[in-house]
Structure 1
Amino acid sequence: MYSTLLLLHSWSRWFVLLFGLIAVYRAYVGWSGRRAFVGADNGMGAAFSGFTWLQVLIGFGLYFGVSPWGLNAMKQAGAMKDPTARFFGMEHVAVMILAAIVAQVGRIVVKKTSDHTAKHKRAFLYFGIALLLILLMIPWGIWNPARPLFRF
């Protein structure tokens, strides 16, 4: 079960990144070019937010269920002194939930905005912040513990 959830969590991050990059790019181009906010713009934002929440749900399965780095690791004495346990037990989880919330709030704010240029501007702001938070907390091995980019 652990390996299955970890595989899903690892591979679905690429969908989050893909749709996040597309949503931010479309928002920037629409904002700078003063284009109309079309269905594809809305769809990319929805896909980004949806895949981000899917990642959170899979991550919860890992954290609260089967991962040795999740809640079980945080119950151990000295977990906050271990950088890997602290990252996966607290930092990664908290910031990724925050990123999902920012993306979802962005979707709501964009839907309630009537002006097309303002929609693109707000989408760029919210989706850009969410994508930046996600990029910071993916375990690339640069400033946090390294994990494989592709699991098999």
Structure 2
Amino acid sequence: MYQSLLLIHSWSRWFVLIFGLIAVYRAYVGWTARRPFLSADNGMGASFSGFMWLQVLIGLGLYFGLSPWGLNAMKQAGAMKDPTKRFFGLEHVVVMILAAIVAQVGRIVVKKTSDATLKHRKALTYFGIALVLVLIMIPWGIWNPYRPLFRF
């Protein structure tokens, strides 16, 4: 069960990244070109936010039950001194939940805004911040523990 959930969590991050990049790109182009806020713009933001929350739910399943790097690692003495245990036991979880919250708040703020240019600017701001947080906390191996880009 652990391997299956980890595989799903690993592969679905690509949907978060793809929809996040598309949402940020569409927001930037819409803002700079002063074009109307289309249903496709709304759909990309919804997809980005939705996949973010899917990742959070899968990640919490790993964290609280199945993963040796989640809550189980944090219960061990000296976990905060071990960079890998600290990353997966605290940093990754907290920042990714924060990123999902930022993306969701962005969706709400964009929906409540009436001006199209302002919608694009707010979408760019919120989705851009959420995407940067995601990019920082994915275990690429640059500044955090390395994990394979594609699990099989």
**Aligned-partner Cα distance in 2 for 1:37–1:114:** 10
The amino acid of 2:22's aligned partner reads I
The amino acid of 2:63's aligned partner reads Y
Q: CA deviation at 1:77?
A: 0.3
Q: CA deviation at 1:140?
A: 0.1
Q: CA deviation at 1:122?
A: 0.1
Corresponding residue of 2:124:
124
Identity of aligned residues (%): 83
Q: Do residues 60 (structure 1) and 57 (structure 2) align?
A: no
Corresponding residue of 1:143:
143
Residues 35-80 of structure 1 show CA distances to partners (whole Å, capped at 9, x for unaligned) of 0001000000000000000000000000001000000000000000
The amino acid of 2:103's aligned partner reads A
For structure 2, which runs of at least 5 residues remain unmatched after alignment? none
SS of match in other structure, 1:68? coil
**Aligned-partner Cα distance in 2 for 1:16–1:66:** 22
Residues 19-44 of structure 1 show CA distances to partners (whole Å, capped at 9, x for unaligned) of 00000000000000000001000000
SS of match in other structure, 1:136? helix
**Aligned-partner Cα distance in 2 for 1:151–1:53:** 21
**Aligned-partner Cα distance in 2 for 1:43–1:24:** 12
Residues 74-108 of structure 1 show CA distances to partners (whole Å, capped at 9, x for unaligned) of 00000000000000000000000000000000000
Corresponding residue of 1:103:
103
Residues 89-135 of structure 1 show CA distances to partners (whole Å, capped at 9, x for unaligned) of 00000000000000000000000000000000000000000000000
The amino acid of 2:72's aligned partner reads N
**Aligned-partner Cα distance in 2 for 1:80–1:132:** 24
The alignment covers a number of residue pairs equal to 152
**Aligned-partner Cα distance in 1 for 2:78–2:132:** 30
**Aligned-partner Cα distance in 2 for 1:65–1:9:** 14
SS of match in other structure, 1:35? coil
**Aligned-partner Cα distance in 1 for 2:60–2:93:** 9
TM-score by length of 1: 1.00
**Aligned-partner Cα distance in 2 for 1:5–1:131:** 23
The amino acid of 2:99's aligned partner reads A
Corresponding residue of 2:45:
45
TM superposition outliers: structure 1 runs of 4+ over 3 Å: none
